[in-house]
Amino acid sequence: MRKKVLCLLTALFFGLLLLGTLFHQKIDCMFREHVTVVNPKPHQEKVTKTWEKNGEEHRIITEETFLLIPKEAVQYNMIYVLETVEVPYGSYEVVRLKGVETAGETGDYVKVTRGLKEKDRVVDVFSESLENEERVVAEE
């Protein structure tokens, strides 16, 4: 009788372990914050610069390149960027706090001049509930 109970408990333990292994991502998603991710949009703008030399005014037109991200994604020149962390059993997403330099706004977007790459994935709304290096569920 003891042997049967021990075998039954062992089978139950390994069965639950197997179920946990198969469904760990689904279970993990239930307890993680969900974030929406956007890709920065490249934007070029012509800028006119003027200066005065020997009483003459000189003008030069240059083309500057910015990356546009939603206004709601930036707070105090800080944004959250989504990164994928590879581990032996798969991967998961974390958010990392990143500082950026901005150069004004265009409509509903902020022009970012430094600190952001075009391939970065930005959390579309800066949330006080997020923490640096927190695991999240990304919805693109």
Query: Per-domain residue ranges for the chain?
Result: 1-31, 33-139
Question: Tens digit of pLDDT for each residue in 58-69?
Answer: 888 888 889 999
Cα separation of the two ends of the chain: 55
Name the residue among 45, 46, 69, 85 with its Cα closest to residue 125.
69
Average confidence score pLDDT of the chain: 88
Q: Is residue 23's pLDDT more than 80?
A: no
Q: What percent of the chain has pLDDT over 90?
A: 46
Question: Tens digit of pLDDT for each residue in 81-99?
Answer: 999 999 887 788 999 999 9
Question: Tens digit of pLDDT for each residue in 28-56?
Answer: 777 888 899 999 999 988 888 888 888 88
Torsion angle of C-alpha atoms 53, 56, 60, 66, degrees rounded to 10: 60
Regarding the domain delimited by 33-139, which CATH topology (the fold level of the hierarchy) does it fall under? 2.40.420
- What pLDDT, on a 0 to 100 scale, did the predictor assign at position 61? 87
Q: What percent of the chain has pLDDT over 70?
A: 99
- What pLDDT, on a 0 to 100 scale, did the predictor assign at position 108? 94
